[in-house]
Each structure stands twice: as C-alpha cells, then as structure tokens.
C-alpha cells in the first residue's frame, strides 16, 4: 500500500470519528418544557416548606457524575443574580426512590419549578451555561 494513501485513509477516519463525536456531544443535552401534567410538585420532596417567590431550581446529581460539578458552579453563579429563586442540589446516589419518582435517567438533571410548584422545564445531560441561564431567566421572567 502506498504510504500517502494510508495516511489519507487514517486522516479520513479521524475526521469522520471527530464529526460523529461532535454530533453526539451536541445531542447529549436535552431541554424539555414542563411535563404537560400541570400538577404541582410537593416542596417537601426537596426538603422545603414552600418554593421561593419566583420558584426553585433543583439539580439532581450523583457521586460519580463528571458533569455535575460544572453545572453546580454555573447554578451557584446564577443564584447570586436571582435572590427570588431557591437553588437546591440533591445527590440521589443513595436515594433511588427520588430518582424513580422523577424519572431520572441521567445526571445532571435540572428542574425549574415555578412558585406555584408547576414544573416549567427539565434539562439533562451536558448542559451549557447559556442553557441554564435561559431556563432561569424564563422562570423569573427576566430577559438575558
């Protein structure tokens, strides 16, 4: 085999693998608006008496989640900008009943909940700062 043809073949395979990886990475995060049920969530499920004046943002994570610390940092930064919201972090590693109740298939999963307890959005996977800020701004009614 010609060395130039071999190098071109390897370069083509690396390019294809990179393209597939980028597509999969982009598709790995999901943002879903509400759940359509309109049923209010119970604040006691999250260790609260009631939700904040503008609602709450709840992050579910596990001990071994590699993306969860980054999402938690982004949410911590946002919490300083939105005093009317409650920000909660729940580790569900040893709480499978919570994971089952909220149908958690991956972590991090972030719920935005209105002050009335209605689920506004559910974000999961590889979340960006922009996605988190948009969900929080939508919940508070503020523009970015």
Mean pLDDT across the stretch 82-108?
Answer: 89
User: How far, in Å, CA of 136 to CA of 54, rounded?
Assistant: 10
Based on the structure, what is the number of domains in the chain?
1
Mean pLDDT across the stretch 55-66?
Answer: 92
- CB contact at 8 A, 109 and 59: yes
Helix (H) or strand (E) holding 31: strand 30-33
Examine residue 15 and state whether it is found in any structural domain, yes or no: no
- CB contact at 8 A, 136 and 123: no
Examine residue 85 and state whether it is found in any structural domain, yes or no: yes
Which pTM value belongs to this model?
0.74
Examine residue 76 and state whether it is found in any structural domain, yes or no: yes
- Render pLDDT for 1-10 as a digit per residue (tens, 0 to 9): 788 888 888 8
The predicted structure's pLDDT at residue 31: 62
Quick one: which of 112, 119, 121 has its CA closest to 56? 112
Which tokens belong to 126?
A: 């590889």
User: How far, in Å, CA of 132 to CA of 144, rounded?
Assistant: 11
Examine residue 12 and state whether it is found in any structural domain, yes or no: no
- Render pLDDT for 19-60 as a digit per residue (tens, 0 to 9): 776 655 555 556 666 665 677 888 888 888 888 888 899 999
Confidence of residue 113 (pLDDT cuts 50, 70, 90): very high
CATH number of the domain encompassing residue 120: 3.40.30.10
């Amino acid at each position: 085999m010609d060395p130039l043809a071999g190098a071109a073949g390897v370069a083509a395979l690396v390019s294809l693998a990179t393209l597939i990886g980028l597509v999969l990475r982009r598709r790995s995060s999901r943002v879903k608006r509400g759940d359509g049920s309109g049923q209010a969530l119970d604040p006691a499920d999250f260790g609260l008496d009631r939700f904040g004046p503008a609602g709450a943002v709840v992050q579910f994570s596990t001990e071994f989640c590699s993306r969860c610390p980054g999402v938690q940092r982004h949410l911590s930064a946002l919490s300083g900008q939105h005093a009317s919201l409650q920000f909660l972090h729940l580790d569900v590693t040893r709480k499978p009943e919570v994971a089952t109740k909220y149908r958690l298939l991956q972590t991090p999963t972030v719920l935005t909940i209105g002050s009335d307890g209605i689920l506004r959005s559910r974000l999961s996977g590889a979340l960006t700062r922009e996605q988190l800020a948009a969900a929080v701004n939508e919940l508070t009614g503020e523009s970015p």
